[in-house]
C-alpha cells in the first residue's frame, strides 16, 4: 500500500501533466461518477444501513439522489462554468481583452464526515473534479462501511492517477495534513476545523470549512401549527437528528409551546408509529460515544415525549424537551441527535437576542405567516443559511451558494 | 494587552449597535474618506516623500487616484451590490423566494503594507466599510510617517467607534491577532502570511492574504523591443521596484538578449537620466534592512548596468543583471527592489517549464505578438493575475479580481470583489406554510410510491431540453395564477401535469 506521501506525489505528477485540463477529461470522470452511483445503489444503501441503520427511504433521497443531482448539474453546466468571464473594461484598456479565467488549484484534499458519508464527501469531490483538480478523498473512519465501499469503488470508475481514496483515522489524517495541498475541504466539527486550518496555514493552503452549530428555530404565533410541527419534526429526526442543518432547538412563547408540543407528539406517531424503535424509518446513533453523549443531555428540562434509550441498539427515542433553560447542558453544544429542546421566550425580541448571544449557526429557521416577522428575524440575525416556514430545503437548491458561517 | 481588547471591543459594540447597517450611513463614511483624501493631498504626499522619496505625481497616480476611483465606484454600485441576489429555483421551490443576501461579517482586521502605505491600507478599508463592517486598521510601522498620518486623520473623518486605527510593530500585531475578528485581510510576505492564518485558525476567522512572489516576465523573439523594454522598465523601477506585482525577472529568447539589455539601459536613462540618484522621479528603498537585503542579492551575477548605491540615503540604482544562474541568490526570493535579472531561454516551452518549477506568482507577464503563444502561456501556467504585452495594468481594472494563488496568496479584492470578500453571502429560502400536500411525500413512513414521487420532483436529467424547461416554467406560472384564484382541484391537476411533463421529457 502506498504511503500518503506517495499518493500525494502521484496525484501532483498527474496534475502537472495537464490531463485534467480538458472538458472532455472532466466530463468523462463525472459521467463515470454517475455510473458509479447508478450501478452500486444497492451496495451504497447496504453500507449506509450498516453504519447508521439509515432507512432506504432516507438513503435513496438524501444520499444517492442528491449526489446524482450534483453530478448531473456539473455535467450540464461544465462548459458554461469553464468559459472565461469577460469583464467591463476601463477607457485605457478599451481595445484589450479582459477576462477572468477559471483554473484548477492543483491537488485538493477532501475530508468527509460520517453523518451523510456518501453525499457529504462526494459533493465537494464532484466540484473539485469539475474544476479540473486532482483530489484525495478521506472519508470518515467513524462510518467504516461507507468509507470502505468508496475506497473500493472509486478506483474502479475514475482515473487512478488523478483521484485516490485514503482511509483512516486521526493518525492517517495528521499524516495527510503534513503534505502540501492546493485546497482543503473539510466537513465536520469546529474543534477539528481549527486543527485543519492551522495545518493548512503552514502551506498557505486555502480551506473551506463546513462546520456546525446550534441552529435555532423560532416559531411565531401566526403559523399553521400542524404544518409547522410536521416540517420541524421531519427535519429534526431525519437521520436520527444527525444532520448539520437540522433545527437544534425551538424558541417560542409558552402559548405557542402549548399548541406545538401536542402537534409534535401527533406527528411523531404519524411518522414512526406508537413504538418508534420498531419503525423502519428511523436510523440509529452512529456509535457508543455519541450515544452516551446524547443520553446525558436527556436530563435537561423535562421530557414531553420520548426519552427512552436502548444502548445495545444505539437507539434514542425521538424526544421533545420542555422547560429548558439557556444554561442547561443540552443548550451548551450542538445536539446532533434526536432531541428537540423547546426554550420559552416572551416575544420575538427576546428570541432574536437569544440567538445573537450564541455563535452564528449554520442554519436559522423561522415559522410565521407574517412576512414582517420573517424579515425582522432575517435582518437582525446572521447564519450560514436561512429558511422560513421549512427546514433543510435551502440545501436542495444547487444555485444557492451553500455559504456557511465560519462557526 | 488590554488596549487591544478595548479597541476591538469598541468596534464590536459599534457593529452590534447596527448603525453600519444603513446604506446611507456607509455612503456617508465613503464620502468622508473622499474628503480625507482631497483635503490632505499635500500632507499625504509629504508623508510618502519622507517614507519612500515618492514624488507628488507618483502619489497622485499610484496612491490617491486609485482610491478615488474605488470610492466613486462603491458609491455608484453599493445599493445594487447590497441588494438580495435572486437565484434559479427548483421545482419544489418554484413558488418561493430564493436569493443570496450579502451581509456584513462583523469586525474586520486590515493589516497594511509599507510600499503603497495609503493605497494598500485604505483600499481594503473602503470595501469593508461598503459591506457594512466595523474595522480595525493596522498600517505598517515600516512606513512610519504614513502610518502616523493615517492614525491622525481617520478619526477626524470617520465614525470613531466603528473604525479604529492601531499603530505598532510585531508586538502590537501579535496582541491584536489574539483577538477574535470576523475577517482578516493581510498584505505582505508569505512568512507573516502563515503566522496570520495560523492565528486566524484559532478563531476560525476567514482570511484574505495578498502576498507576493517572483513575477516572471517572458519576452518572445518577434516583438517591438523598444515598447517592450519601456513597459517593463516602468513596471520594474516604479517605487524603486518595491511593488508586489513588479516584473521580478525576465526570461527572454536567446536571440534578443543583447538587444533587450541595450534597450533597457536606454530606457532607464530616458526615465531617470544619467544619474538616477538626482532624478526627482526615482524613489528610495524603505529601510536600511531592505537596502542591505537587496544588495546581498547581487552576489553571483554580473551587473550589466547600474549597481551603484548609497547607504545613507538608501539609494540603489536601477540595475540590470546578466549571467544569472537559476540557483543564484537573486532567483531564490522576491527581489522587491530595483534589480532586474535577465535569464535566457530557447523557446516558450522552456520558459513555461521554468515558471512552473517555481511557486505560483502574484503576476505573470508575457510579451508576444502571437495570440496563440499568449494563450498557451496562460493555459499552461498559473498566477494570481496576468497582463500580456504590458506590466501591472490588470491591477487597475476593478472588474478583475486582484489576488494571489498558492504561495502568492488567497482571496481577492478590488471593486465588487472587495464588497463580496467582506460580506457573508447568506443563502435564503422564504417559503410559506401552504402546499403541504407536496411535503407529505418526504415524511415517514417511507414507501416506494413516495420515493417515485420525490424522484419525479427533484431528479435532474443530463442535458435536459431547454424548451422543456421553458414549458415547465410556463406551467408553473399558470399554477401560481390558479392558486391565486383559489381553484383547488385545477391546481392539483396542474401540478400533476407538471410532474408528468418532466417525466416524459427525460432522456
> Can you give the pLDDT at residue A404?
38
Determine whether B174 is exposed, middle or buried from the number of CB atoms within 10 Å of its CB (0-12, 13-18, 19+). Answer: middle
DSSP state of A88: P
The residues, any chain, with a CB within 8 Å of residue A318's CB and separated by 6 or more, are A233, A236, A237, A268, A272, A276, A282, A305, A306, A338, A340
Residues of B labelled as active-site residues: 210, 244
* A322-356 pLDDT per residue, tens: 999 999 999 999 999 999 999 999 999 999 999 99
Shortest Cα distance from B93 to chain A (angstroms)? Answer: 8
Percentage of chain B surpassing pLDDT 70? Answer: 91
Q: Closest-CA residue in chain B for A74?
A: B462
> Can you give the pLDDT at residue A283?
95
Instruction: Say yes or no for a CB contact (<8 Å) between A230 and B433.
Output: no
- Are the C-beta atoms of residues B7 and B136 closer than 8 Å to each other? yes
**Backbone dihedral angles phi then psi of residue A310, each to the nearest 5 degrees:** -145, 105
Of A93, A103, A197, the CB nearest to B204: A197
Run of H or E including B218: strand B216-219
Which of chain A's residues have a Cβ under 8 Å away from the Cβ of B432? 369, 389
For chain A, report the end-to-end CA distance as a whole number of angstroms: 37
Mean pLDDT of B285-290: 96
> Can you give the pLDDT at residue B475?
65
* B233-255 pLDDT per residue, tens: 999 999 999 999 999 999 999 99
Which of chain B's residues have a Cβ under 8 Å away from the Cβ of A186? none
Mean pLDDT of A348-371: 96
CA distance B123 to A323: 51
- Which of A134, A162, A217, A244 is catalytic? The answer is A244
SS (H, E, C) B81-138: HHCCEECCCCHHHCCCEEEEEEEECCEEEEECCCCCHHHHHHHHHHHHHHCCCEEEEE
Whether residue A362 is predicted with pLDDT greater than 60 in this model: the reply is yes
Of B193, B445, B459, the CB nearest to A65: B459
Lowest mean pLDDT among A396-400, B258-262, B459-463: A396-400
* A23-74 pLDDT per residue, tens: 999 999 999 999 999 999 999 999 999 999 999 999 999 999 999 999 999 9
Substitution target in A28, A187, A192, A206 with the highest count of B β-carbons within 10 Å is: A206
CA distance A353 to A118: 37
CA of B48: how far to CAs of A397, B142, B276, in Å?
A: 51, 12, 19
Confidence of residue B454 (pLDDT cuts 50, 70, 90): confident
Whether residue B494 is predicted with pLDDT greater than 70 in this model: the reply is no
Of B200, B458, B464, the CB nearest to A396: B458
* A135-170 pLDDT per residue, tens: 999 999 999 999 999 999 999 999 999 999 999 999
- Which of A63, A70, A210, A334 is catalytic? The answer is A210
> Can you give the pLDDT at residue B482?
60
Run of H or E including B252: strand B249-253
> Can you give the pLDDT at residue B6?
96
Confidence of residue B461 (pLDDT cuts 50, 70, 90): confident
**Cell numbers standing for residue A259:** 399548541
Complex confidence, ipTM: 0.94
Single out the residue of B292, B238, B179, B268 nearest to residue B57, CA to CA. B238
A residues 283..342 contacting B (CB < 8 A): none
Which of chain B's residues have a Cβ under 8 Å away from the Cβ of A270? 443
Run of H or E including B208: strand B207-210
Which of chain A's residues have a Cβ under 8 Å away from the Cβ of B401? 100
A72 touches chain B (CB under 8 A): yes
β-sheet bridge partners, residue B302: B322
CA of B283: how far to CAs of A14, B289, B307, in Å?
A: 45, 16, 15
> Can you give the pLDDT at residue B439?
81
Tell me if residue A387 is catalytic.
Answer: no
Helix ranges, B158-278 (H): 170-176, 190-201, 225-237, 257-272
Which of chain B's residues have a Cβ under 8 Å away from the Cβ of A89? 397, 399
Mean pLDDT of B394-421: 97
CA of A132: how far to CAs of A15, A33, A107, A119, B362, in Å?
A: 9, 15, 9, 20, 21
Mean pLDDT of B293-315: 96
- Are the C-beta atoms of residues A55 and B446 closer than 8 Å to each other? yes
A residues 32..51 contacting B (CB < 8 A): 34
Which of chain A's residues have a Cβ under 8 Å away from the Cβ of B379? 21
A residues 216..275 contacting B (CB < 8 A): 223-224, 227-228, 230-231, 234, 270-273
Whether residue B489 is predicted with pLDDT greater than 70 in this model: the reply is no
**Cell numbers standing for residue A231:** 416540517
Run of H or E including B303: strand B302-305
> Can you give the pLDDT at residue B487?
52
Mean pLDDT of B25-51: 97
Instruction: Say yes or no for a CB contact (<8 Å) between A394 and B428.
Output: yes
> Can you give the pLDDT at residue A43?
98
Q: For B389-492, where are the E strands, in sequence order? A: 409-410, 423-430
Whether residue B505 is predicted with pLDDT greater than 60 in this model: the reply is no
CA distance A338 to A335: 8
For chain B, report the end-to-end CA distance as a whole number of angstroms: 66
Instruction: Say yes or no for a CB contact (<8 Å) between B429 and A201.
Output: no
Q: Pick the more confident residue, B468 or B277.
A: B277
Substitution target in A197, A213, A218, A247 with the highest count of B β-carbons within 10 Å is: A197
Shortest Cα distance from A15 to chain B (angstroms)? Answer: 11
Amino acid at each position: 500500500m502506498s504511503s500518503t506521501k506517495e499518493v500525494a506525489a502521484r496525484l501532483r505528477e498527474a496534475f502537472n501533466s495537464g490531463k485534467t485540463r480538458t472538458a472532455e477529461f472532466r466530463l468523462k470522470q463525472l459521467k463515470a461518477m454517475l455510473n458509479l452511483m447508478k450501478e452500486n445503489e444497492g451496495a451504497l444503501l447496504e453500507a449506509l444501513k450498516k453504519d447508521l441503520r439509515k432507512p432506504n427511504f432516507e438513503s435513496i433521497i438524501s444520499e444517492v439522489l442528491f449526489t446524482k443531482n450534483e453530478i448531473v448539474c456539473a455535467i450540464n453546466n461544465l462548459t458554461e462554468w469553464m468559459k472565461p468571464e469577460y469583464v467591463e473594461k476601463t477607457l485605457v484598456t478599451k481595445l484589450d481583452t479582459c477576462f477572468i479565467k477559471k483554473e484548477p488549484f492543483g491537488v485538493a484534499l477532501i475530508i468527509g464526515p460520517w453523518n451523510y458519508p456518501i453525499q457529504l464527501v462526494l459533493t465537494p469531490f464532484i466540484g473539485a473534479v469539475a474544476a479540473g483538480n486532482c483530489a484525495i478523498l478521506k472519508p470518515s473512519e467513524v462510518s467504516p462501511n461507507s468509507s470502505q465501499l468508496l475506497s473500493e469503488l472509486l478506483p474502479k470508475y475514475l482515473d487512478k492517477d488523478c483521484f485516490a481514496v485514503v482511509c483512516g483515522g486521526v493518525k492517517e489524517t495528521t499524516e495527510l495534513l503534513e503534505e502540501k495541498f492546493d485546497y482543503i475541504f473539510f466537513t465536520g466539527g469546529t474543534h477539528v476545523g481549527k486543527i485543519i486550518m492551522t495545518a493548512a496555514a503552514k502551506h498557505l493552503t486555502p480551506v473551506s470549512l463546513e462546520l456546525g452549530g446550534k441552529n435555532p428555530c423560532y416559531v411565531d404565533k401566526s403559523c399553521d401549527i400542524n404544518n409547522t410541527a410536521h416540517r420541524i419534526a421531519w427535519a429534526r429526526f431525519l437521520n436520527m437528528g444527525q444532520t448539520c442543518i437540522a433545527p437544534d432547538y425551538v424558541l417560542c412563547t409558552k402559548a405557542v409551546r402549548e399548541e406545538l408540543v401536542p402537534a409534535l407528539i401527533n406527528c411523531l406517531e404519524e411518522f414512526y408509529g406508537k413504538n418508534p424503535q420498531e419503525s423502519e424509518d428511523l436510523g440509529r446513533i452512529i456509535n457508543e460515544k455519541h450515544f452516551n453523549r446524547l443520553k446525558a443531555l436527556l436530563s435537561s428540562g423535562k421530557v414531553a415525549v420520548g426519552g427512552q434509550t436502548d444502548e445495545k441498539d444505539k437507539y434514542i427515542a425521538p424526544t421533545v424537551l420542555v422547560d429548558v433553560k439557556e444554561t442547561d447542558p443540552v443548550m451548551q453544544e450542538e445536539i446532533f441527535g434526536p432531541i428537540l429542546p423547546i426554550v420559552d421566550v416572551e416575544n420575538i425580541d427576546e428570541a432574536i437576542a437569544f440567538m445573537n448571544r450564541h455563535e452564528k449557526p449554520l442554519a436559522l429557521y423561522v415559522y410565521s405567516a407574517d412576512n414582517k416577522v420573517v424579515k425582522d428575524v432575517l435582518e437582525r440575525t446572521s447564519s450560514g443559511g436561512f429558511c422560513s416556514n421549512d427546514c433543510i430545503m435551502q440545501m436542495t437548491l444547487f444555485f444557492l451558494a451553500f455559504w456557511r458561517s465560519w462557526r | 494587552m488590554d488596549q487591544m481588547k478595548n479597541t476591538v471591543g469598541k468596534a464590536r459594540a459599534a457593529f452590534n449597535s447596527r448603525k453600519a447597517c444603513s446604506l446611507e450611513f456607509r455612503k456617508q463614511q465613503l464620502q468622508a474618506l473622499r474628503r480625507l483624501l482631497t483635503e490632505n493631498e499635500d500632507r499625504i504626499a509629504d508623508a510618502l516623500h519622507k517614507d519612500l522619496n515618492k514624488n507628488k505625481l507618483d502619489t497622485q497616480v499610484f496612491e490617491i487616484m486609485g482610491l478615488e476611483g474605488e470610492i466613486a465606484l462603491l458609491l455608484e454600485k453599493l445599493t445594487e451590490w447590497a441588494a438580495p441576489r435572486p437565484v434559479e429555483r427548483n421545482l419544489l421551490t418554484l413558488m418561493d423566494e430564493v436569493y443570496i443576501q450579502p451581509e456584513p461579517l462583523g469586525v474586520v482586521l486590515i493589516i497594511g503594507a509599507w510600499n503603497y502605505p495609503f493605497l494598500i491600507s485604505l483600499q481594503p478599508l473602503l470595501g469593508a466599510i461598503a459591506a457594512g463592517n466595523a474595522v480595525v486598521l493596522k498600517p505598517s510601522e515600516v512606513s512610519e510617517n504614513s502610518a502616523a498620518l493615517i492614525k491622525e486623520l481617520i478619526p477626524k473623518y470617520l465614525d470613531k467607534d466603528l473604525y479604529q486605527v492601531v499603530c505598532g510593530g510585531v508586538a502590537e500585531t501579535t496582541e491584536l491577532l489574539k483577538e477574535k475578528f470576523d475577517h482578516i485581510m493581510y498584505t505582505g510576505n508569505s512568512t507573516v502570511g502563515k503566522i496570520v492564518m495560523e492565528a486566524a485558525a484559532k478563531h476560525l476567522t476567514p482570511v484574505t492574504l495578498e502576498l507576493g512572489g517572483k513575477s516572471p516576465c517572458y519576452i518572445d523573439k518577434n516583438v517591438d523591443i523598444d515598447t517592450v523594454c519601456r513597459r517593463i522598465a516602468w513596471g520594474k523601477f516604479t517605487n524603486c521596484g518595491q511593488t508586489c506585482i513588479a516584473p521580478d525577472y525576465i526570461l527572454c529568447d536567446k536571440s534578443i538578449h543583447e538587444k533587450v539589455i541595450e534597450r533597457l539601459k536606454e530606457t532607464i536613462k530616458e526615465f531617470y537620466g544619467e544619474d538616477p540618484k538626482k532624478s526627482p522621479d526615482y524613489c528610495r528603498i524603505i529601510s536600511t534592512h531592505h537596502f542591505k537585503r537587496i544588495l546581498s542579492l547581487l552576489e553571483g551575477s554580473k551587473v550589466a548596468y547600474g549597481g551603484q548605491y548609497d547607504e545613507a540615503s538608501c539609494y540603489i540604482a536601477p540595475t540590470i543583471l546578466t549571467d544569472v544562474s537559476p540557483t543564484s541568490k537573486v532567483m531564490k526570493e522576491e527581489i522587491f527592489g530595483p534589480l532586474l535579472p535577465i535569464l535566457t531561454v530557447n523557446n516558450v516551452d522552456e520558459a513555461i517549464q521554468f515558471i512552473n518549477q517555481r511557486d505560483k506568482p502574484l503576476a505573470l507577464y508575457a510579451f508576444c505578438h502571437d495570440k496563440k503563444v499568449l494563450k498557451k502561456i496562460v493555459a499552461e501556467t498559473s498566477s494570481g493575475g496576468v497582463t500580456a504585452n504590458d506590466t501591472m495594468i490588470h491591477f487597475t481594472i476593478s472588474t478583475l479580481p486582484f489576488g494571489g494563488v498558492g504561495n502568492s496568496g488567497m482571496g481577492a479584492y478590488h471593486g465588487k470583489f472587495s464588497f463580496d470578500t467582506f460580506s457573508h453571502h447568506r443563502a435564503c429560502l422564504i417559503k410559506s406554510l401552504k402546499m403541504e400536500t407536496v411535503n407529505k411525500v418526504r415524511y415517514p413512513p417511507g414507501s416506494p410510491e413516495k420515493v417515485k414521487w420525490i424522484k419525479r420532483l427533484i431528479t435532474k436529467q443530463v442535458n435536459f431540453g431547454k424548451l422543456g424547461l421553458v414549458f415547465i416554467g410556463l406551467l408553473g406560472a399558470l399554477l401560481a395564477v390558479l392558486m391565486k384564484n383559489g381553484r383547488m382541484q385545477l391546481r392539483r391537476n396542474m401540478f400533476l401535469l407538471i410532474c408528468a411533463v418532466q417525466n416524459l421529457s427525460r432522456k
